[in-house]
Amino acid sequence: MTLISYFNFRRFILIAILGFLPISVIAQSPQPDSISARSAADSLTQSLNYKEIRGIERAATPAFYTPRKVLHAIFWLPRFTIDAMLRSTAFSAVFIDEKRIFKKFEDFFYLYEDKLAWFPVLNIVSGSPRGLGVNLTYHSHYFTSQAKGVYNNNDIWGLKGALSYIFFRHNYFWQFDVETRLETDDNFRFYGIGPDPQNDPRSYFLPDTDAERGIYAQRRLHLHANIGVRTSSNLEYFYSIFYQKRTVRNPAGTAADNFSKVFDTDSLPGSFFKSKKIYNELSFRFDNRESLKIIEPGARIEGYGGLAFGLKNDKDRLFRAGLDAMVFLPVFRQNRLLVPRIVFDMVENLNDRNDIAFVEYPRHQEFRGASSKSLLRSDKYKMTASLEYQWPLAYYLNGHLFYDYLTVAPKPGEFFTGKPPWAAGFGIDFHTTYSEVARLFFSYGSEGLFFKLDVGLSSLNKDRSDWK
């Protein structure tokens, strides 16, 4: 992973450095337009009627001699860098494009005729490891099972188990999934509610605090069942139901940004509350790309609507809906794509006697300028807009340049108020024949520099049940 990322990072830098070429050529010595037969180095073709010159030879001083020397000195470094990168890149390209390397990789992780697979799981966010574990997957014909465990310390760990079965009935393909998760984490960051959370009374910041965020811990049990049907090669429908038990508390330690030291927890809905909910959802997915394993032009649209009901002391009644639309437009070549994307999510309170808990607002999982555990903006309506350029870097390796823009609002007509977070950066995805197995990206934006490395199997669809 380090070698591949390093190689492709140099290719990215090479594009910028090539801009020096038109100027740096000026600094080179002039060359003759053609070489005559008399000046040929081959003595067999050289004319015998040459003239012998006697005396002292002195090189003629070309025009603009001094400016040329100055430019030569100025542009020596970029010219040398270009030459070195071209030579090493050519060697690396041969190494990376050698498919046998990836075949060995697959042979190492896929066992028993590719029925059993294991992958290490590693999550690093801005230099801090957030978990290390293993993911085991067994696949046989129409049946798939998965087990995953991640551990960092006593306050950050998670377990996951899943079963999936595909069958054919009434001329359609159906899929049934069940999943359970138990996880705890102590580094969730809440920045308040609204497009300007510091000045929104719904945030309930303590009057004597200067902090812009509070950190809370959470323990979550999640049971999930899903059934889907593919009615055509491009269209799928799903029904999902899950049960979730969530406990919100202060993190361990006495840090100044602990949740109760930043927010009025007696007034902020959802603070230090044990909630139990059942959520029902109907959704669809349209995707007309010919292949999901490589960069392909096409379109992908996903929409959903669902109802959440609280149990026992949890009085929430929530309606959720959203749309995720992206178009893959070819530019230059069929595998060079410009991808505009809009992700819209909303939640409406169906119980006027009970305010929405702060942890139930839509999450910005698609925003690449901060961790998904940081609730930069929270409100009833959320929209993430992005523009991305995708291209293949090497065999099983794709590159991305992106710009993300995040905004929230209490009403749809108030989306572009305040100073919405933004991020721009580049990323690399690594995948095998079967699935994407690693993601890496760097970004810079309103929240500063952000880096994320995620090693492990990836799901192609958005998991709306994973509200953290």
- pLDDT, tens only, 173-202: 999 999 999 999 888 899 999 998 988 999
Mean pLDDT of 249-257: 79
Cβ atoms of 403 and 422 closer than 8 Å: yes
Whether residues 80 and 143 share a domain: the answer is no
Whether residues 320 and 233 share a domain: the answer is yes
Cα–Cα dist 196/262, whole Å? 16
Q: What's the pLDDT tens digit per position in 313-335?
A: 888 899 999 999 999 999 988 88
Whether residues 341 and 268 share a domain: the answer is yes
Cα–Cα dist 165/177, whole Å? 7
Query: What CATH number corresponds to the domain at position 305?
Result: 2.40.160.50
Q: State the CB neighbour count (10 A cutoff) for residue 409.
A: 21
Cβ atoms of 423 and 450 closer than 8 Å: yes
Residue 363: band (very low, low, confident or very high) from pLDDT cuts 50, 70, 90: confident
Whether residues 161 and 83 share a domain: the answer is no
Q: Residue 86: which domain range?
A: 1-27+66-96
Whether residues 91 and 240 share a domain: the answer is no
Q: State the CB neighbour count (10 A cutoff) for residue 107.
A: 10
Q: What's the pLDDT tens digit per position in 86-144?
A: 554 444 444 444 445 445 556 666 777 778 888 788 777 765 666 788 888 898 888 99
If residue 298 lies in a helix (H) or strand (E), which one and from where to where?
Answer: strand 298-310
Whether residues 251 and 154 share a domain: the answer is yes
Whether residues 415 and 441 share a domain: the answer is yes
CA 75 vs. chain centroid, Å, equals 36
Cβ atoms of 122 and 440 closer than 8 Å: no
Whether residues 350 and 443 share a domain: the answer is yes
Residue with tokens 């087990």: 147
Q: State the CB neighbour count (10 A cutoff) for residue 74.
A: 13
pTM greater than 0.75 = no
> Considering its fold, how many domains does the chain have in total?
2
Instruction: Quote the percentage of the chain above a pLDDT of 70.
Output: 72
If residue 355 lies in a helix (H) or strand (E), which one and from where to where?
Answer: none
Whether 376 is in a domain gets the answer: yes
Cβ atoms of 241 and 276 closer than 8 Å: no
Whether residues 305 and 416 share a domain: the answer is yes
Nearest in space to 280 (alpha carbons), one of 234, 232, 333, 227: 227
Whether 406 is in a domain gets the answer: yes
Whether 50 is in a domain gets the answer: no
Whether 54 is in a domain gets the answer: no
Counting Cβ atoms within 10 Å, is residue 370 exposed (0-12), middle (13-18) or buried (19+)? Answer: buried
Residue with tokens 């050289």: 46
Whether residues 123 and 77 share a domain: the answer is no
Q: What Rg value do the Cα atoms of the chain yield, rounded? A: 29
Whether residues 23 and 135 share a domain: the answer is no
Whether 412 is in a domain gets the answer: yes
Q: What's the pLDDT tens digit per position in 366-379?
A: 888 888 778 888 89
Nearest in space to 339 (alpha carbons), one of 395, 391, 416: 391
Query: What's the mean per-residue pLDDT of the chain?
Result: 78
Mean pLDDT of 354-366: 88
Whether 269 is in a domain gets the answer: yes
Whether 190 is in a domain gets the answer: yes
DSSP letter (8 states) at residue 329: E
Whether 192 is in a domain gets the answer: yes
Whether residues 266 and 182 share a domain: the answer is yes
